[in-house]
């Protein structure tokens, strides 16, 4: 069975981490497809033997250098993208978590080209991924 991100044989499980610091949230600019060059939140794939929360904590550290504490689960996003012929190119089920920083110095790393703290009122200034916009609607965070 294929484990490729592109044209998978089955949905792939991922996590997203909305990291809060006072009134700001951490956005990252994606370095890889899907959504390369767009702004999103840290996240990635769940590894075999890893819980969702463990994956979220690991991905936050890998992409931002920050150690985080998971506050709560926010919901999930079905991220399905089709190619020009209508075939499913990407299919992720992403479980999103709210987290807060416990330690570390923020730095964009791994799959993140840039990382910065943003007030919700300023989200519209960034070219956000469709899945992040969906999450903001689910949790009613002004965007």
Instruction: Give the catalytic positions in this structure.
Output: 114
Going by C-alpha positions, the residue among 20, 24, 40 that lies closest to residue 119 is 24
- Residue 34: asked if its preceding bond is cis (omega within 30°), the reply is yes
Going by C-alpha positions, the residue among 13, 55, 37, 57 that lies closest to residue 112 is 37
Angle at 134 between CA 131 and CA 137, to 5 degrees: 155
Going by C-alpha positions, the residue among 51, 71, 53 that lies closest to residue 61 is 53
HSE-CB at 73 with a 13 A cutoff on CA atoms is 11
């Amino acid at each position: 069975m294929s484990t490729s991100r592109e044209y998978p044989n089955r949905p792939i499980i991922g996590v997203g981490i909305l990291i809060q610091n006072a009134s700001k949230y951490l956005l990252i600019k994606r370095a890889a497809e899907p959504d390369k060059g767009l702004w999103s939140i840290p996240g990635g794939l769940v590894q075999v033997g890893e819980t969702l929360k463990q994956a979220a904590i690991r991905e936050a550290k890998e992409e931002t250098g920050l150690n985080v504490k998971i506050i709560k689960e926010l919901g999930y996003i079905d991220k399905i993208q089709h190619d020009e012929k209508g075939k499913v190119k990407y299919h992720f089920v992403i479980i999103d978590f709210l987290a807060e920083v416990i330690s570390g110095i923020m730095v964009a790393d791994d799959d993140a080209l840039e990382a910065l703290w943003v007030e919700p009122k300023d989200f519209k200034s960034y070219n956000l991924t469709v899945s992040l916009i969906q999450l903001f609607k689910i949790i009613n965070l002004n965007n």
